[in-house]
């Protein structure tokens, strides 16, 4: 069984020592490291302790080998939506469970209503459902591994027009996107 302790810990920006200290009772960073890498068996007791320390549900810590990990596919910078140079696992908020492929976008530069550090969770839809996304924020793939993100303001047979967040932005027209993903949840640290 593959665990996601390291992925969750890194996403929160915590060290092994941070997680070890948050465990009740506290443990060592070395023990957490061994549990992360599979050098030590992740028992149900350990799983519950670490999940509580990481402030997640215990089932988020484990995944089957065949299960496809949810991934960040883009980031939002001062230049707009960009592809990531290296794939990153994402942690699914429990409120988004359901049908359809989910993708996440990390916001790295504030624009419009989005702030640095936000996560935008989007659900992919096929061309038949594009009409549902009118006047909603969407993430769209573009040629060359690029992405566009913004409010979908227009749609015709094969093209969609997006208005990126922020003042003074120009609309982006995408011809025949493979999919669109409508924003469903904004995750913001308090």
Q: Write the DSSP symbol of residue 37.
A: H
Q: What is the pLDDT of residue 115?
A: 92
> What percent of the chain is helix, strand and coil (3-state, nearest 5)?
25, 35, 35
Greater pLDDT, 3 or 67: 3
CATH superfamily assigned to domain 71-187: Umud Fragment, subunit A (2.10.109.10)
Which residue, among 178, 170, 120, has the nearest Cα to 144 in the 3D structure?
178
pLDDT above 70 for 134 = yes
> Which whole number is the average pLDDT over 179-189?
87
pLDDT above 60 for 68 = no
Query: pTM (2 decimals)?
Result: 0.55
Q: What is the pLDDT of residue 69?
A: 58
Domain with CATH 1.10.260.40 in the chain: 2-63
pLDDT by residue (tens digit) across 44-57? Answer: 888 889 989 988 87
Domain 2-63 carries which CATH code? Answer: 1.10.260.40
Q: How confident is the model at residue 132 (pLDDT cuts 50, 70, 90)?
A: confident
Averaged pLDDT of the chain: 83
Q: What is the pLDDT of residue 166?
A: 86
Q: What is the pLDDT of residue 65?
A: 43
Greater pLDDT, 129 or 22: 22
pLDDT above 90 for 127 = no
Q: How far apart are CA 72 and CA 103, in angstroms?
A: 6
> Which whole number is the average pLDDT over 106-121?
89
Q: Rounded to whole angstroms, what are the CA distances from 7 to 36, 37, 62, 121?
A: 9, 11, 11, 17
Quickly tell me which residue has 């659900």 as its tokens. 123
pLDDT above 80 for 8 = yes
């Amino acid at each position: 069984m593959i665990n996601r302790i390291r992925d969750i810990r890194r996403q929160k920006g915590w060290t092994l020592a941070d997680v070890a200290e948050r465990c009740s009772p506290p443990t060592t960073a070395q023990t957490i490291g061994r549990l992360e890498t599979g050098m030590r068996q992740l028992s149900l007791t350990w799983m519950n302790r670490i999940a509580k320390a990481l402030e997640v549900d215990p089932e988020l810590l484990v995944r089957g080998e065949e299960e496809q990990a949810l991934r960040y596919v883009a980031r939002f910078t001062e230049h707009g939506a960009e592809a990531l140079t290296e794939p990153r696992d994402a942690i699914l908020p429990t409120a988004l469970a359901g049908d359809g492929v989910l993708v996440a976008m990390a916001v790295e530069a504030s624009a419009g209503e989005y702030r640095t550090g936000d996560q935008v969770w989007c659900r992919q839809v096929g061309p038949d459902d594009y009409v549902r996304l009118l006047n909603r924020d969407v993430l769209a793939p573009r040629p060359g591994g690029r992405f566009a993100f913004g409010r979908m303001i227009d749609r015709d047979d094969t093209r969609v027009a997006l208005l990126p967040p922020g003042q003074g932005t120009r609309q982006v027209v995408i011809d025949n996107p493979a999919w669109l993903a409508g924003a469903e949840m904004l995750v913001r640290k308090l």
